Amino acid sequence: MTSEFGPLKASIEQALAERVNQSSTIAPSLLDAMRYALLGGGKRLRPLFTLVTAESLGVDVRLAMPAACAIEMVHSYSLVHDDLPAMDNDDLRHGKPSTHKAFGEWTAILAGDALLTLAFETLCDLEGVTPDVQIACVKLLASGSGWQGMVGGQTYDMHLASAGETIASIDELKALHAAKTGVLIRTSVELGARVAGASAEESKELGQFADGIGLGFQIMDDVLDVTASTEILGKPAGSDVRENKQTFVTFLGVEGAKREALRVLGAAESNLDRVLRNSSRLKALGRTAVIREF
């Protein structure tokens, strides 16, 4: 993360920590695992998008913080469940043992469930917005992360892997990632827009920006899997090749994929210029998200 967003990221870390710094007499290990999963690192891209979107529409970022925390909790729970032996069976996350490796499988399942539930509870703490905006945010988060959104995309991905099917075209690959990771990034932006009272038109343009960022992010993820080290990634590098996965690099090559990521990023930025008077912060965040270390 570039230093420009360092202070905002620090405020997200603090807000997340406050949400899980609870104590439980009957289930202390559950809270330990929730803290481990939620506070164990990560770029905090999704909550940053929520906050910077709200800020770009003229709203105090503190107002959007519960929405920012909620989206990160959803992202965090999805990683915990994705890493499970029955799913991707990943032992490493953010450079540390994944939650089920550190706490055992059943605790990880329950900690994921509890984080997802906590996301919706946290959304109820939005202040300074009307209750109908709050409900709109609950609906956005639920549809973006449920069967028609993120969980649907994960199912699609798991189905391909377990059936040994390969993706036939770059359009199919884009559809997969739009559901698996793209929807949640769009939801991050839409939550920030909703909290800031954006119009339908503004929300649509911002959503298209987010879709571009989500796609660019995924293309670069595929590039980094080939070019970066395990240390930088915080997860095993080269896993796509080992698992014989069809990625943007398979279709476009490393250099072609980098060019496509930059093209997608540029197109996304042009959406922003149509809707925001001051788009520089959101553009900078989009660039940080897509380009990263390469």
User: Which residues, 139 to 158, sit near its own copies by CB under 8 A?
Assistant: 139, 141-143, 145-148, 151-156, 158
Q: Judged by CB, which is closer to its own copies: 160, or 226?
A: 160
Which residue type sits at 63?
Answer: L
User: Which residues, 96 to 135, sit near its own copies by CB under 8 A?
Assistant: 104-107, 109-110, 112-114, 116-118, 120-121, 123-124, 130-132, 134-135
User: Which residues, 69 to 88, sit near its own copies by CB under 8 A?
Assistant: 77-78, 81, 84-87
Q: How many chain residues are in contact with its own copies, going by CB under 8 A? A: 57
Q: Is 197 in the site for its own copies (CB under 8 A)?
A: no
Q: Is 39 in the site for its own copies (CB under 8 A)?
A: no
Tally Cβ neighbours within 10 Å of residue 112.
24
Least Cβ distance, residue 208 to its own copies (angstroms): 20
Which residue type sits at 134?
Answer: Q
What residues have CB less than 8 Å from 136, skipping those under 6 apart?
Answer: 194
Q: What angle do CA 55, 57, 62 make, to 5 degrees?
A: 35
Q: Is 169 in the site for its own copies (CB under 8 A)?
A: no
Enumerate long-range contacts of 160-165, CB under 8 Å, 24 or more apart: 161/243, 161/245
Distance in angstroms (rounded) separating the CA atoms of residues 17 and 39: 7
Distance in angstroms (rounded) separating the CA atoms of residues 32 and 286: 33
Which residue type sits at 217?
Answer: F
Is the CB of residue 82 less than 8 Å from the CB of residue 39? no
Residue 200 φ/ψ region, left for φ over 0, alpha for ψ in the -120 to 50 degree band, beta for the rest: alpha
Q: Judged by CB, which is closer to its own copies: 215, or 276?
A: 215
Site string for its own copies, 238-267 (x = CB under 8 A): ------------------------------
Least Cβ distance, residue 292 to its own copies (angstroms): 27
Footprint on this chain of its own copies (rule: CB under 8 A): 22, 24, 26-27, 29-31, 34, 77-78, 81, 84-87, 104-107, 109-110, 112-114, 116-118, 120-121, 123-124, 130-132, 134-135, 138-139, 141-143, 145-148, 151-156, 158-159, 162, 175-176, 179
